[in-house]
Structure 1
Amino acid sequence: MSGAYTIPLLPCRSIDETAEFYRMLGFRTTHHQTRPNPYIVMAREDWQLHFFGVDELDPETTYGTCLVFVPDTGVLWDEFAAGMREVHGKVLVAGIPRVTRPRKRANTGNRAGFSLTDPSGNVIRIFPQQEDTAEPEAPQGKLGKTLERAIVFGEAKGDTAQAIKLLDSTLARSGAEASKPERLDALVYRAELALRMGDNEKAAALLKEVERAELDEGEREAAAGAFATAAELAKLL
């Protein structure tokens, strides 16, 4: 049947807390009720999220999640980040709530998606509507291949600890053998994981190592994305 659509219903521990969080991101409240049960509807342009109140909800263990496909994840991430900076003075990358950065992942059709975790622990997984049809360049070395795996653990599975374990092990064993741009990509992502774990000291040390890297013109061009991400992460320290 044409014209059918679905709307995600997600649990929340407080409809007021949830509404405040999503308003920060550019949503508006289109429905709010407290009786017979707590329920709100948050809308942003053409999409909406519905939330129902659940007593004793644990944000650390909830399984609430949904997929959202948008024309441009980079533009949306920038808008979310601007809202967070306006309210909190920084992008929330650690703890709950938080947002990850858009990254292409090997297990999602090379889509550059990101995840938003709200105060109740719901994970809104955001991807571009179109796959990147350009064939991604396969990583040549051990570190590049490990980085791909670490991104899947850190972003798709939310297993930051395992992503850190993978990267630290390969950086220690094979980091010196990697190309400089590949090593910088790994160091920057490791710094992001450190921030996610609240380890600002580790993140600062990694970003300092990135800053001190000596590269020729070609290597610097290849590492432009890593340097841009490092500069953004440095603002969070």
Structure 2
Amino acid sequence: YLYLAFRWRGFELHYGRASRNLDPSENTGGCLVMVDTVAPYHAAFTEAMRRTYGKVLAKGLPRITRYRPGTSRFTVTDPSGNSIIFIQRDEPTEVEYGGSKQLQGLARVLDNARILREFKNDDRHAFRALNSGLRRHGDSAPAVQQAMALAVLIELSTALEESERVPEWGARLRQLSLTMEERRQVESVVADPTLLKRWMPATA
């Protein structure tokens, strides 16, 4: 008889034996954990991963999704493929897939990419939507929106291990004129601003 239960920070998680037909490389189960704020939980998991594995694992099993400041959820996938999704209690109850209808052009494309990344954990779809949207709307968009799109493409390409076009996007990012506040906006749309360090332009 196989059964595991543990308690951590006010919630309990119980495991039972999985079906013999389940492939542990796929998601075998999942649950939601509602918390007041997700950032401390993500920090605790990433610190534990660094201690155990020497790095934060973004692929394979176990793994954890990236966390961008202000994000209202993240997912931990355990060694058996179970997804444990931490969600902030005040997260909006409605999500506008395709991007907010109150936005237009590249701003709406950016919002759609954010939703695909944070709510569906779909980096591939977010990458395609943003790459296409930048081609369609980039020339008419403000410099800060262009920079945000390029920054997210750099991060997604790195995460997907398809970084061939990163130098191209980085060169375009470096050519944009941004204020200090706009630089902060650009850095806020990625989980790891250090990825942008070599590409960020000087402030206007």
TM-score under structure 1 length normalisation:
0.64
Per-residue deviation, 1:138? 8.2
The alignment's C-alpha RMSD in Å is 3.4
Partner of 1:24: none
The count of aligned residue pairs is: 189
Partner of 2:15: 51
Which of these residues, 97, 118, 131, is aligned with residue 78 of structure 2? 118
CA distance in 1, matches of 2:86, 2:159: 19
1:74-223 alignment runs, 5 A limit? 74-102=39-67, 112-131=72-91, 140-201=103-164, 206=169, 210=173, 213-223=176-186
Q: Secondary structure at the match of 1:223?
A: helix
Change (3 A) 1:185 1:101: farther
Q: Percent identity?
A: 30
Which deviations, in whole Å up to 9, do the C-alpha atoms of 1:82-114 show, x marking residues without a partner? 12222223222234332223459xxxxx96211
CA distance in 2, matches of 1:45, 1:60: 28
Which deviations, in whole Å up to 9, do the C-alpha atoms of 1:185-233 show, x marking residues without a partner? 3333333333442335556765676567541234224334247732268
Change (3 A) 1:173 1:150: same
Q: Secondary structure at the match of 1:51?
A: strand
Structure 1 segments unaligned to the other structure (5+ residues): 1-36, 105-109
Change (3 A) 1:61 1:93: closer
Structure 2 segments unaligned to the other structure (5+ residues): 93-99, 198-204
Per-residue deviation, 1:122? 1.8
CA distance in 1, matches of 2:36, 2:55: 25
CA distance in 1, matches of 2:119, 2:196: 20
Change (3 A) 1:113 1:229: same
Which structure 1 residue ranges, 4+ long, deviate > 6 Å from structure 2? none
Which of these residues, 171, 188, 194, is aligned with residue 225 of structure 1? 188
